[in-house]
Amino acid sequence: MTTPDPHLRQTDHFIEACGVESPHNGKIDYSCTTKKGQGFIYYENGDLDIVADKTSKEVVGRKITNEQEPAKIIRAENGGIILSAPYGTVTIVAANIRFVAVDGVGGGEITFQASKIVHLDAPTVTGQGTNVTTAASNNASVTGGTASVSGNTQAEVQSGIDSDKSSVLGKILDAITRFKKFFASICSD
Amino acid sequence: MIEEALLKSNYIGKDGFHWWIGQVANQNSWKSKSQFSEEKGSDGKVWAARCKVRIVGHHTFDGNVLPDDDLPWAQIMMDPAFGSGQGGMGATINLKGGETCFGFFIDGDDAQQPVVIGLLHRSDGVKNLISEESIAKEKSSQFKPFTGHPGNNIPATQRSARKRKSITPENPQTETSPLSTKDKVDLAFNSNVGFYTGTTRVFPQYGDRLQFDAASIWQVAKKADIEITIPNGCQNGLIGDISQALQSFMAITNGLDQYLNVYVDAVLNEIVDIQNQIRNTARSILGIVKLIINNLRNTIFKCITWAFRKLVGLVVPQPQQKIVLESMKKILDVIFCILEKLPSSLLNFITDALSDLVNRTVNVPLCAAEEWTAGILAKLMDSIENALSGIMSGISWLTGGLGTISGILNQASSLASQIFSFLECTGLACKKPYTWAAKFGPSEKEADDWKKMVSSVNVFKTAANAGSSIENALRDTSLYSAVDTFGSGFGGLIDRALSNISCSSKVLNPTNQDDLMRMPIGSRWKTCIPPQVYITGDGVGAKAIPIVGDNGRIFSVQIINRGVGYQNGTTDVRIVDKSNYGLGATARIEVDEKDGGINRIVILNSGDGYCKGNIGLGTNVVGGLGTNVVGGLGTNVVGGLGTNSSGISSSITGIVTDIVVDKPGYGYTTGDKITDGKNTYEPIVSPGSGAIVDVKIPTNIIGGFKDIPILTINTNTGVGAELIPVMQFTPNYSSTTGIPAVSGIAVTSVIDCV
């Protein structure tokens, strides 16, 4: 393991550093920081800090003519990607937006969580799955100019109260069935 | 004159060539008329790159005879690598005044046109011998070293000019604070705190200005020192999220100096809007509280609809059922509305609770954060019960009673995951909640324990029912009250009611890293606390301790328990010093895929500044050192290595047990050798590219290393390989026990505490 000498270059406006110890994250591989406290730090351990005190703008793809050519790729070879704006709004605007979760081991999940509302608004809203469940602890409503509920083999609309009642009725029918079987067994003898 | 003119060639070098050594004059005499300034000449163009120099042997030191203003202008030779300025190419010169420079006279014997061609280095050891004020008064620096920063008041080679300001008795908030000025100073704001002490170590070979401006690196690092709670989609870490938000907030405020209600971040060199910080943190916490309310609301609805279902289905006659169900719907709508509006009413409570913490305490251990969180949730429960009391009492006769709101909190906790788990096989894969911090990497959090939290909430409610308010009860937790009983070891009533009395002492006197919250960049805890090793991953039970060398660097990491269930790729190791004395140590962990236990921990960077003590070494030692110790220290020593680690860690030495190939390089041959200064190792080289793929460790190796040795590869052909030695701490405890130390030929597996 060789340990190169640290290197510093400084002007009134910026400082470049290589091989010096950082405040908290091991040695600096290369950094360029300004007197305003902006800049970037590459660490020897592979981390990178980039700091801009206000808006960071990045414009790419002006010369892309093929729609299939990506203008921007952010790839995490390992680990995840986090977009965090705790006091702001994350806005994604594009011609098309797709969320795809492909992990075949234990993942493959897409979740949307909100403390107030999740709102979908489009001329056509579809959902498709092997099992689809919509549940509400208070009120669930399906409304439309026309509304239809259909099932290939069975369609059922039932309230909890009816279910309770039907379960009582079911118990009675079950008892009758067993009663009939009992008499049938006697008669067959 | 005529003779002189006739004899002179006026050709550089032919009329004599004179070298000289001099000193760049104080910048007040030249900088405004040089390239450094935006001031332009009469032709509207900027001045050339030039300065004034006082030349030894040509110019007197006496400013009254030859003031700085009358010194000759010197041209500055430019570096062809950077350019002269022509065509826009070049670099600005970087003279400040005071530099010892070297050059020649371009006009030979006339000696009126000096040219600076280079500078002699000034080390940190050169002290300033004349002030800027004296230079102005004397009109000369008299060839003495000076700062080169007129008006900046930065004494050369000293960092103290920018030390952080202490809290003073004039501070009105100090007078009303339970902490005395001395306590506060002792806790975190004393004169030893500050980033300059750190940079002194980092840049010893440069002058003060470099150390001063190295602050910009600290500023960028501090701004990037973020901590993020990672949502796992299951909302099973909400309690921890509130505690985390509190600790992050305190980490920010700990880095601030307060004076006359103005908060200054000395590292960032800016005045901080503390109210904005409080608002944002309160907003974050309120967002988490809102999720809890939503879960709670779902459970309330579930309970009410269940009760109505039984009531209506079994008791209410058919003609009246529709009316009763319509009433239920209206009740639920009202409850929905009340709970939707509730969070905004809690904002002030959380804001006030945070405001009272600012400048009151420095350390927020997890136990204290959980107490505080319980207080916030107690207020939430209290607000919900008050808001819903009318409705709930009105319907309780009808439904047979639903119990208290807090009583069903425990049920609400699991609803978030349940709501996605209608069928067992389609539930979300809820992993353990964790946070990620720039300084420490991922940290696992405990999943919400609502049973425990409800119990704590009930303590607050009991206190409130006894005549106190939730607000007062919250101020009786260890964070607020511990400072009132400094030294007693007891916190407030709530602290004691929670059987958490040790939490108060943790707030004030943490003894290990678990007791301490992270100190912000630029601040240190009042005392150095030995580092700890944290292992995170899918497994359980792994435990390791860092061995700090005599030089304050991490020497090795001893695995105390290998644990089970770990996997390479998801297991991480961190060497943590939240007290901010030790910096930079990093390590890599390797898991045995067969049994899921930790195989070894390789130090990648030893860091610097750590203090010894080696938490874990001194505890739970059975029989001390001399009894039942076989083959050194390992066999019958339980859970540790020695009493208070004295003797064992007083002189750290060790051996190389393995060598890890970090970069294989290429071009090496089988005849190449690797040496650590005491031992020689043989690399295993791939026949194709000549890359080093492994290193053979000899059976008997010589130990006694006090620091991780630098490995040297003796080769004539290979390049690029980087090898990391894996160290094993070999204790030498003869000084305290009289038992001869194991030295010289050492074995590679001394410690076996698993």
B309 reaches A (C-beta below 8 A): yes
Q: What is the mean pLDDT of residues B699-712?
A: 87
Strand positions, DSSP E, chain A:
7-10, 14-18, 28-34, 39-43, 48-51
- Tokens 């990093």, residue? B586
Which of B 580-619 lie inside 8 A of A, CB atoms?
A: 580, 583-586, 604-605, 607-608
Q: What is the mean pLDDT of residues B534-557?
A: 89
CA-CA distance, B426 to B445, in Å (whole number)?
Answer: 25
CA-CA distance, B360 to B246, in Å (whole number)?
Answer: 14
Q: Who wins on pLDDT, B307 or B491?
A: B307
The answer to whether the Cβ–Cβ distance between A137 and B298 falls below 8 Å is yes
- Tokens 């004034």, residue? B52
Q: What is the mean pLDDT of residues B558-577?
A: 91
Q: What is the pLDDT of residue B165?
A: 32
Please state, in angstroms and as integers, the Cα–Cα distance from residue B664 to each residue in A46, B714, B723, following that order.
18, 15, 8
CA-CA distance, B701 to B398, in Å (whole number)?
Answer: 83
Instruction: Answer yes or no: is pLDDT of B657 > 80.
Output: yes
Q: What percent of chain B has pLDDT over 90?
A: 21
Is the CB of residue A115 less than 8 Å from the CB of residue B291? yes
Instruction: Answer yes or no: is pLDDT of B614 > 70.
Output: no
Q: What is the mean pLDDT of residues A149-173?
A: 73
Q: Who wins on pLDDT, B80 or A158?
A: B80
Q: What is the pLDDT of residue B157?
A: 35
The answer to whether the Cβ–Cβ distance between B235 and A113 falls below 8 Å is yes
B329 reaches A (C-beta below 8 A): yes
The answer to whether the Cβ–Cβ distance between B220 and A49 falls below 8 Å is yes
pLDDT tens-digit map of B204-216: 333 333 344 467 8
Q: What is the mean pLDDT of residues B51-71?
A: 95
B152 reaches A (C-beta below 8 A): no
The answer to which of A179-188, B135-144, B417-426, B496-505 has the lowest mean pLDDT is B417-426
The answer to whether the Cβ–Cβ distance between B290 and A116 falls below 8 Å is yes
Q: How far is B356 from chain A (nearest CA, A)?
A: 23
Helix segments in B255-399, DSSP class H: 274-314, 318-357, 366-399
Q: What is the mean pLDDT of residues B561-577?
A: 91
Q: What is the pLDDT of residue B114?
A: 96
Q: What is the mean pLDDT of residues B150-160?
A: 43
Question: Using CB atoms, which residue from B280, B321, B423 is nearest to A87?
Answer: B280
Q: What is the pLDDT of residue A98?
A: 93
Q: Which residues of B293-310 are buried (b: 16+ CB within 10 A; e: fewer)?
A: bbbbbbbbbbbbbebbbe
CA-CA distance, B614 to B529, in Å (whole number)?
Answer: 9
Q: How far is A107 from chain B (nearest CA, A)?
A: 7
The answer to which of B29-43, B533-547, B557-571, B624-638 has the lowest mean pLDDT is B624-638
Is the CB of residue B550 less than 8 Å from the CB of residue B521? no
CA-CA distance, B479 to B484, in Å (whole number)?
Answer: 10
pLDDT tens-digit map of B321-380: 888 888 888 888 888 888 888 888 899 999 999 998 887 777 888 888 888 998 898 888
Q: Give A79's contacts in chain B (Cβ within 8 Å).
A: none
Rg of the Cα atoms in chain A: 32
DSSP class per residue in B589-615? EEEETTTTEEEEEEEEE--B------T
The answer to which of B123-132, B180-189, B392-401, B415-424 has the lowest mean pLDDT is B180-189
Instruction: Answer yes or no: is pLDDT of B617 > 90.
Output: no
Report the DSSP pairing between strands B50-55 and B73-76.
Answer: antiparallel
Pairs from A29-33 (Cβ < 8 Å, separation ≥ 24): A31/B217, A31/B220, A33/B216, A33/B217, A33/B219, A33/B220
pLDDT tens-digit map of B581-607: 888 888 999 999 899 999 999 998 888
Q: What is the mean pLDDT of residues A12-21?
A: 82
| Element holding B662 (H helix, E strand) | strand B654-663
CA-CA distance, A41 to A22, in Å (whole number)?
Answer: 9
Report the DSSP pairing between strands B722-729 and B654-663.
Answer: antiparallel
Q: What is the mean pLDDT of residues B438-444?
A: 75
Q: What is the pLDDT of residue B131?
A: 84
Q: What is the pLDDT of residue B431?
A: 66
